[in-house]
């Protein structure tokens, strides 16, 4: 079946995967602004959050919610709208949709329904933090959030002990110290960069060993979601296979 065509051969709409600012509202592309104005509907992780962006740029497109609480039924509604010929923009609260947010589910369902996905690239919290971390950027992996259960979180870290590439994690403020403590005990006192409030007024990037960062945090009130860049294991184990495209 031709992508973008329904079973009856008629044109379907498209879903634009639109990256939005992670803080500073100026960090959005001209193309993203045009798409948000031209689509029939914006599917947002938080209507209130996205409305602030739209108001700032005088975007009057209707906004509907699509998040972890309603994704089971809302996805079907959105896909039916697209099948009828409407174009929709999918946005997260910050950065690129699909990375540690419910957008990935809608994307999979759209692909299964032969609906065209159109990327509108822009800022990403993970790459923004990596670029200023001071750690190797030639090879890296995105891990995202570890489990909020201590036993599973420690097991996930155990599985990363031999990882030689730079690692990128997300963590919430109330679990940050517990996560870093587990990391110190399992991965050792590696060099890390801890970024919060990126591109905002109170942007902060802490660099040092895990132990040093934990010492800095003990007297602080931790706020906001953090992006953590972690040094990989210095001694690689086994050969590295390279596949040519």
Query: What DSSP line would sit under 162-223, residue for residue?
Result: T--SEEEEEE-GGGHHHHHHHHHHHH-S-EEEEEESTTSTT-EEEEEEHHHHHHHHTTS---
Tell me what percent of the chain is helix, strand and coil, each rounded to the nearest 5.
Answer: 35, 20, 45
Per-residue pLDDT, 46: 94
In sequence order, the 6+-apart residues with CB closer than 8 A to the CB of 180 are 210, 213, 214, 217, 228
List the domain boundaries for the chain: 14-123, 126-230
Separation of CA 107 from chain center: 14
In sequence order, the 6+-apart residues with CB closer than 8 A to the CB of 208 are 191, 192, 216
CATH number of the structural domain 14-123: 3.40.1010.10
Per-residue pLDDT, 7: 52
Per-residue pLDDT, 241: 41
* Max CA pair span of the chain: 63
Tell me the pLDDT of the chain (245 aa) as tens digits.
455 555 545 589 999 999 999 999 999 999 999 999 999 999 999 999 999 999 999 999 999 999 999 999 999 999 999 999 999 999 999 999 988 788 999 999 999 999 999 999 999 999 999 999 999 999 999 999 999 999 999 999 999 999 999 999 999 999 999 999 999 999 999 999 999 999 999 999 999 999 999 999 988 899 989 999 999 998 654 444 444 43
Per-residue pLDDT, 100: 79
Per-residue pLDDT, 242: 42
pTM for the whole structure: 0.86
Identify the CATH assignment for 126-230 out of 1.10.443.10, 3.20.20.80, 3.30.43.10, 3.30.950.10. Answer: 3.30.950.10
Element (H, E) at 16: strand 14-18
């Amino acid at each position: 079946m031709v992508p973008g065509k329904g079973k009856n051969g008629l044109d379907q709409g498209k879903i634009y995967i639109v990256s939005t600012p992670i803080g500073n509202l100026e960090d959005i592309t001209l193309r993203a602004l045009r798409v948000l104005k031209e689509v029939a509907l914006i599917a947002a992780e938080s209507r209130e959050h996205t409305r602030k962006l739209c108001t700032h740029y005088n975007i009057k497109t209707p906004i509907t919610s699509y998040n972890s609480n309603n994704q089971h039924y809302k996805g079907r509604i959105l896909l039916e709208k697209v099948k009828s010929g409407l174009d929709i923009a999918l946005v997260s609260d910050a950065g690129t949709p699909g990375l540690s947010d419910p957008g990935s589910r809608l994307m999979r369902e759209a692909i299964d329904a032969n609906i065209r996905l159109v990327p509108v690239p822009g800022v990403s919290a993970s790459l923004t933090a990596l670029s200023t971390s001071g750690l190797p950027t030639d090879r890296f992996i995105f891990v995202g959030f570890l489990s909020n259960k201590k036993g599973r979180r420690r097991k996930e870290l155990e599985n990363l002990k031999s990882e030689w590439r730079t690692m990128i994690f997300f963590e919430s403020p109330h679990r940050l110290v517990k996560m870093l403590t587990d990391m110190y005990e399992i991965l050792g006192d590696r060099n890390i960069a801890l970024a919060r409030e990126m591109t905002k007024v109170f942007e902060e990037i802490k660099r040092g060993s895990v132990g040093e960062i934990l010492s800095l945090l003990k007297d602080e009130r931790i706020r906001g979601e953090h992006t953590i860049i972690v040094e990989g294991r210095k001694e690689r184990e086994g050969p590295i296979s390279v596949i040519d495209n």
